[in-house]
Amino acid sequence: MLRFIPLAIVFLLGSVGVVAFGFYALIDWVALEQSYANFAALAGSGSSLNALFAAEAQQNIHRLNLFAEGVWVLQSATLAAIALHGLCTVPRRRRN
């Protein structure tokens, strides 16, 4: 029973991490789509290079943030999967 508690806590933390980081990844996905649309509109309108560089930098900021949040989601999912595997394979004591 005592082995069950830490594994359950780790599973809970991993699951909460997937949900929390996934939520913020979806928010940054929307921001990336908006910044890409802005960049595409500026590129199509023949804007100056300074405006294009600024729009591209803004787009790259959102790409990097989305990548980092995606990595955190995957790491949290891995943590939860390892804990779930541990919960399923904890040997039970035999009562004599």
Taking only the tens place, the pLDDT of each residue in 43-60 is 898 888 999 999 999 999
Residue 93, pLDDT above cutoff 80? no
Taking only the tens place, the pLDDT of each residue in 13-29 is 999 999 999 999 999 99
Using CB atoms within 10 Å of the CB of residue 46, give its burial: 0 to 12 exposed, 13 to 18 middle, 19+ buried. exposed
The DSSP secondary structure of 16-67, one letter per residue, reads HHHHHHHHHHHHHHHHHHHHHHHHHHHHHTT--HHHHHHHHHHHHHHHHHHH
Query: So what's the pLDDT on residue 37?
Result: 95
3 state DSSP class of 87: helix
A 10 A CB-CB count for 12 gives 12
Q: And the tokens for 81? A: 């999967």
